[in-house]
Amino acid sequence: MYEKLKNDMVLAMKNKQKERLTVIRGIKASIDKEHIDKKKEINDELLIDVVSHQVKLLNDSIIEFEKGNRTDLVEKTKFELSILKEYLPEQLTLEEVEKIIDEIFEKTKPTSMKDMGKIMKEITPLIKGKFDMAEVSALIKNKLI
């Protein structure tokens, strides 16, 4: 994926796609920063972590821009979001996530909210980067109650 990112950056330069190039450079810079700061190996997992974090930030920004009636910034941010999503694995549907949660519940047999950590530990590797983890957490909490 990192190689695809670098190739896409070169293509964006050649095709003079300034906005796309800016977003891709931002992703690459964030990945390189994580690599240097936290001494993490550059791999698909790191790329997914970084891109997922940026997607979350952009989604939060869109909400704020909509509150401020800044449609120009909403459109720009949605464009950036569409580019970021190209580097994430195929997203799961709500039904698929609920099915995975049910399977984890059968496996771990939680009895109370105290088991939340155990459930999240099991489910995170299966879903991370493929669905919003905040929503997953909320689904699990509703099921535990």
In the chain the domains, ranked by start, together with CATH numbers, are 2-85 (1.10.1510.10), 94-144 (1.10.10)
- The predicted model gives 45-74 an average pLDDT of 89
User: Using CA atoms, how far apart are residues 86 and 20, in angstroms rounded to an integer?
Assistant: 12
Q: Which residue has the tokens 């909400």?
A: 63
Say if pTM beats, i.e. exceeds, 0.85: no
- The predicted model gives 108-123 an average pLDDT of 86
User: Using CA atoms, how far apart are residues 32 and 109, in angstroms rounded to an integer?
Assistant: 40
Model confidence band, residue 15 (pLDDT cutoffs 50, 70, 90)? very high
At residue 43, the pLDDT reads 84
Model confidence band, residue 24 (pLDDT cutoffs 50, 70, 90)? very high
Write out the H or E segment, with its range, that includes residue 68: none
At residue 83, the pLDDT reads 92
Nearest to residue 95, comparing CAs of 87, 86, 103? 103
